[in-house]
């Protein structure tokens, strides 16, 4: 009998990903979880549609996927920008993993401005894009891309990241490296891209890599004055531990606390939504950035995702002042809009 209970206890501590235990999965899937959540968080009963409206005024979403892109997206850039303008947001920034998105962002901006001029929109919104480096860390390509209008972000490798494959247990998959594995030094081309970001006052999203690469890269960013954000470090594909995020935040990196994975989905159905709240409280709102990372065809639209996210943050104890920091002030700093 003792062996049975010992085995059951050991089984409950089996890890499902980097931080989620089997015991926690059982709690999240328990029949009474909903009632326990209400009991532990009575503010949920105060949440109503529109409670987030004030928080959206002046908000900036720096991480949106929209069409045109290499796959279908739920909305195109104009549709997302119209939604954002109607909500009173300050800016949206569209990510492309592989190429520049600032050229299409420029055209979306022209259309928004035209709609305002014709009184079809009560207010405008700033529309930005940037440059994705999945094809490689090519400083010359980035330098040319920075000459395009509406450029505000550089995104480090995602699908082609060597650090991602290493953390996934497949280091044999060669990918785009940011750091020399043998010396631990940041590669010259990575440093140059960070320098370009600082010189041109654009933000950097650090992509899908692992902590052994992130630590020296964030140190290099600090050294050259670049402003960087960890892309969805709570999403399992590039999951970081709380202590790792704290180390990177201490070096100046913003922590991207996005709709994914707090809003569970078909893209990551097994997650703990409360981990986002714990991370914000442990790291501190002054070092976190709210974004959606939405646009996937099996998610709600970006603005709807942001609305649900903000309601959830209020329901689970984040203050309006903390949310304003994360959704308005910190994204403005990342994009150098605070100057």
Q: Tens digit of pLDDT for each residue in 264-285?
A: 889 988 999 999 999 999 999 9
Looking at residues 198-222, what average pLDDT do you find? 97
Q: What is the pTM of this model?
A: 0.95
Average pLDDT, the chain: 95
Range with the poorest average pLDDT among 4-13, 109-118, 145-154, 210-219 = 4-13
Q: Of 15 and 199, which is predicted with more confidence? A: 199
Looking at residues 203-217, what average pLDDT do you find? 97
End-to-end CA distance of the chain: 67
How many Cβ atoms sit within 10 Å of the Cβ of residue 12? 13
How far apart (Å, rounded) are the C-alpha atoms in residues 334 and 243?
22
- Per-residue pLDDT band for 92 (boundaries 50, 70, 90) equals very high
Cβ contacts of 75 within 8 Å, gap of 6 or more? 66, 67, 83, 295, 301, 302
pLDDT surpassing 80 at residue 86: yes
pLDDT surpassing 80 at residue 2: no
pLDDT surpassing 50 at residue 185: yes
CA–CA distances in Å: residue 310 to residues 39, 76, 79, 259: 20, 23, 21, 9
Query: What is the per-residue pLDDT for 111?
Result: 98
> Do the bridges between strand 254-258 and strand 20-21 make them parallel or antiparallel, or are there none, so unpaired?
unpaired
Reading the block at residue 35, the tokens are 């009632």
Reading the block at residue 112, the tokens are 């928004």
Query: What is the per-residue pLDDT for 44?
Result: 94
What are the structural domains, with CATH classification, of the chain? 32-334 (3.20.20.140)
Query: What is the per-residue pLDDT for 6?
Result: 53
pLDDT surpassing 80 at residue 11: no
Query: What is the per-residue pLDDT for 4?
Result: 45
């Amino acid at each position: 009998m003792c062996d049975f209970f010992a085995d059951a206890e050991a089984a409950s501590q089996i890890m499902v990903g980097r931080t989620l235990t089997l015991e926690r999965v059982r709690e999240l899937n328990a029949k009474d979880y909903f009632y326990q959540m209400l009991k532990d968080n009575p503010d949920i009963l105060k949440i109503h549609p529109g409670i987030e409206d004030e928080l959206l005024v002046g908000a900036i979403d720096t991480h949106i996927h929209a069409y045109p892109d290499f796959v279908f997206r739920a909305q195109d850039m104009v549709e997302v920008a119209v939604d954002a303008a109607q909500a009173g947001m300050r800016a949206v920034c569209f990510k492309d993993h592989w190429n520049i998105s600032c050229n299409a962002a420029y055209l979306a901006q022209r259309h928004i401005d035209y709609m305002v001029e014709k009184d079809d929109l009560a207010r405008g919104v700033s529309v930005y894009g940037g440059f994705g480096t999945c094809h490689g860390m090519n400083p010359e390509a980035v330098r040319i891309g920075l000459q395009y209008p509406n450029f505000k972000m550089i995104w480090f490798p995602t699908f082609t990241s060597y650090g991602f494959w290493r953390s996934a247990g497949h280091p044999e998959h060669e990918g785009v490296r940011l750091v020399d594995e043998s010396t631990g030094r940041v590669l010259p081309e990575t440093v140059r891209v960070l320098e370009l970001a600082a010189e041109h006052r654009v933000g950097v999203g650090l992509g899908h890599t692992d902590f052994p690469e992130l630590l020296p890269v964030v140190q290099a960013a600090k050294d050259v004055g670049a402003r960087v954000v960890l892309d969805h470090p709570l999403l399992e594909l590039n999951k970081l531990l709380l202590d790792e995020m704290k180390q990177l935040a201490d070096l100046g990196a913003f922590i991207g606390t996005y709709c994914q994975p707090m809003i569970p989905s078909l893209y990551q159905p097994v997650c703990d939504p409360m981990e986002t709240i714990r991370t914000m409280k442990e790291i501190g709102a002054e070092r976190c950035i709210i974004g959606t990372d939405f646009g996937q065809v099996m998610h709600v639209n970006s603005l709807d995702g942001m609305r649900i996210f903000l309601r959830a943050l209020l329901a689970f104890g984040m203050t309006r002042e903390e949310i304003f920091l994360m959704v308005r002030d910190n994204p403005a700093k990342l994009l150098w809009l605070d100057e």
